[in-house]
């Protein structure tokens, strides 16, 4: 950590109101301090992005072993007792507060020319972690639309691959319900009524599907990188990874990936100016999710982040 010192040699208090004379001031402090803050802030974004990915990957592995296809032969469906902290204490319900991007270089979205835009993109940290909140709402749940979304997608639930073309929405709901049920059994709690268990799974899928998760990610990408008249941002749907869900130890985690290409607005050049991988992460405590499902009304605020990884 740098220490910045301003040295004042002598203050003449005899003059009216006092004045500084013969002062030696290191003016570099006014230029270097902000740059140092920007660099530290960018590093913290990178650390937070790795933490988010590591937490989900760990949860997915634990869920696949405890409740999914990696479960040892002959083990109990609930996965048995695990040594260590409960997942709810490790993964949720809260998320690490992301670093706000105010201290980062100027947003490319406000550039006035292509060359300025490219310079600003180059000045961005490779990873940005942007926090937001989402709502799970029984009233706003659209099972018909969610079914369409999931049936044309691919999912991985607790290590189990689910194809939208085979099983689709109904199988996804069943797999998430099973994960929630196993968590309750492992904790020695009474299982939820079947219809409420199913509703809880539907609420979770409603936040994970492409319509919802894709909207949250695209909104942040546009906020940071869209610049009218200079570039055009477009999704590369074919590059999207399967939707992912990990339900274990009283916590349900979701992750959705989308990729976006940034092209010149004038259509010149085939190579994109930049490519952005967007990861939407959210998690919800199963107890809160069950309370919402049992009420069959109201809504639940869930913490989430969008991780943007920019490649030039």
The DSSP letter of residue 303 is E
The pair of structure tokens assigned to 106 is 């100027």
Q: How many Cβ atoms sit within 10 Å of the Cβ of residue 287?
A: 16
Kindly indicate the confidence band of residue 158, based on its pLDDT and cuts at 50, 70 and 90. confident
Q: How many Cβ atoms sit within 10 Å of the Cβ of residue 225?
A: 23
Q: Is the pLDDT of residue 289 over 60?
A: yes
Query: Domain for residue 30, yes or no?
Result: no
Number of domains in the chain: 1
Query: Domain for residue 4, yes or no?
Result: no
Mean predicted confidence (pLDDT) in 181-207: 80
Please check whether residue 269 is in contact with residue 232, taking contact to mean a CB–CB distance below 8 angstroms: no
Q: Is the pLDDT of residue 4 over 50?
A: no
Measured distance CA(86)–CA(92) in Å, rounded: 10
Mean predicted confidence (pLDDT) in 189-199: 78
Measured distance CA(221)–CA(27) in Å, rounded: 37
For CA atoms 310, 229, 109, 278, the dihedral sign is negative
Q: How many Cβ atoms sit within 10 Å of the Cβ of residue 294?
A: 14
Burial of 186 (0-12, 13-18, 19+ CB in 10 A): buried
Query: Domain for residue 184, yes or no?
Result: yes
What torsion, rounded to 10 degrees, do the Cα atoms 115, 109, 240, 49 define? 100
Measured distance CA(146)–CA(130) in Å, rounded: 25
Query: Domain for residue 3, yes or no?
Result: no
Measured distance CA(307)–CA(295) in Å, rounded: 32
Query: Domain for residue 32, yes or no?
Result: no
Measured distance CA(188)–CA(194) in Å, rounded: 17
Closest C-alpha among 121, 124, 75, 79 to residue 104: 124
Mean predicted confidence (pLDDT) in 65-85: 49
What integer best gives the mean pLDDT of the chain? 76
Q: What is the pLDDT of residue 62?
A: 65
Q: What is the pLDDT of residue 39?
A: 65
The pair of structure tokens assigned to 207 is 């936040």
Q: Is the pLDDT of residue 57 over 80?
A: no
Query: Domain for residue 196, yes or no?
Result: yes
Q: For residue 142, give its domain range.
A: 51-311
- Reported as a single tens digit per residue, the pLDDT across 22-34 is 566 666 666 665 6
Mean predicted confidence (pLDDT) in 247-257: 85
Q: What is the pLDDT of residue 22?
A: 55
Q: Which of 34-48, 60-74, 101-115 has the lowest mean pLDDT?
A: 60-74
The pair of structure tokens assigned to 295 is 């009420």
Mean predicted confidence (pLDDT) in 270-294: 87
Measured distance CA(259)–CA(142) in Å, rounded: 25
Query: Domain for residue 1, yes or no?
Result: no
3-state secondary structure of 301: strand
Query: Domain for residue 158, yes or no?
Result: yes
Residue by residue, DSSP assigns 197-255 as HHHHHHHHHHHHSHHHHHHHHHHHHHHHH--TTTEEEEE-GGGPPPEEEEEETTEEEEE
Write out the H or E segment, with its range, that includes residue 274.
strand 274-285
């Amino acid at each position: 950590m740098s220490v910045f010192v301003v040295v004042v040699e002598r203050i003449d208090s005899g003059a009216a109101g006092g004045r500084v004379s013969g002062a030696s001031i290191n003016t570099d402090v006014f230029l270097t301090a902000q740059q140092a803050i920007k660099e530290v802030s960018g590093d913290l974004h990178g650390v937070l992005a790795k933490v988010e990915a590591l937490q989900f990957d760990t949860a997915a592995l634990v869920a696949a072993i405890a409740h999914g296809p990696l479960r040892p032969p002959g083990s109990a469906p609930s996965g048995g007792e695990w040594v260590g902290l409960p997942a709810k204490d490790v993964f949720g319900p809260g998320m690490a507060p992301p670093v706000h991007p105010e201290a980062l270089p100027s947003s490319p979205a406000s550039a006035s020319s292509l060359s300025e835009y490219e310079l600003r993109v180059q000045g961005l940290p490779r990873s940005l972690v942007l926090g937001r909140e989402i709502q799970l709402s029984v009233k706003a749940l659209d099972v018909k639309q969610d079914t369409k979304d999931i049936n044309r997608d691919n999912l991985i639930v607790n290590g189990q691959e689910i194809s939208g073309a085979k099983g689709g929405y109904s199988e996804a709901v069943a797999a998430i319900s099973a994960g929630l049920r196993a968590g309750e059994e492992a904790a020695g709690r009474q299982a939820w009524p079947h219809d409420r268990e199913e509703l809880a799974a539907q609420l979770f899928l409603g936040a994970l599907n492409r319509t919802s998760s894709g909207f949250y990610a695209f909104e942040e990408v546009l906020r940071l990188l869209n610049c009218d008249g200079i570039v055009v941002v477009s999704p590369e749907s074919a590059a999207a990874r399967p939707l992912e869900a990990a339900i274990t130890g009283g916590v349900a985690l979701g992750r959705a990936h989308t990729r976006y290409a940034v092209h010149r607005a004038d259509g010149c050049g085939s190579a994109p100016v930049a490519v952005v991988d967007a990861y939407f992460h959210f998690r919800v405590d199963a107890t809160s999710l069950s309370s919402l499902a049992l009420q069959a009304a109201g809504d639940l605020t869930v913490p989430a982040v969008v991780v943007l990884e920019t490649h030039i």
